[in-house]
Amino acid sequence: MKTRIAVQTEPFDLAEETARLSAGDVTIGAVASFLGLVRGHNRVGEDDADIATLTLEHYPGMTEKALHRIVDAAAERWPLQAVTVIHRVGELRLGEPIVLVLTASAHRQAAFDACQFIMDILKTEAPFWKKERLPDGGERWVDARESDSEAAARWLRD
């Protein structure tokens, strides 16, 4: 299986990454994608606020290993030909891409399911930390959401 995993500060290009994923492999019949963007508003517990920027931190080396484990777990469950996971770190502005997950398989259902699995597990298992800067200059760290844990737990029951 062709795999590309990157943790980077630079933006990525969705079309370029999709073309790279499937280049030269005519056995691929489906590519599923998830593209996460920095949104301008977030609810953290009971605290609802507009966001000015989002800063993501990670543990170099450990983060990439966690992403590889997640991709390997997806490949054990579904017949995948290729996977790309790119996650950005550093300070990001509103509307900028944060994360890209691409999965390629001969058939659409495997690509869809694997893409969702990778994103759901990534949200709870990959060591990333998010800090939101508010328009008034205040900052807050973002804890994992209960809904993210529930989404990941669903895959463990299946």
Q: What percent of the chain has pLDDT over 90?
A: 80
- Reported as type and span, the H/E element at residue 101 is strand 97-105
For residues 97 and 16, is the Cβ–Cβ distance under 8 A?
A: no
Number of domains in the chain: 1
| pLDDT value, residue 158 | 63
What tokens were used for 28?
């691929």
Give the up-direction half-sphere exposure of residue 87: CA atoms within 13 A in the CB hemisphere: 24
Q: What is the pLDDT of residue 104?
A: 98
Provide the residue count of the chain: 158
CATH number, domain at 101? 3.90.1170.40
Beta-strand pair 47-50/41-44: antiparallel
Report the phi/psi class of residue 64: left, alpha or beta, with left for phi > 0 and alpha for psi in -120 to 50.
alpha
- This prediction has a pTM of 0.93
Q: What is the mean pLDDT of residues 81-92?
A: 98
Residues 27-71 pLDDT 10s: 999 999 999 999 988 776 666 788 999 999 999 999 999 999 999
Q: Determine the structural domain holding residue 56 and report its residue range.
A: 2-157
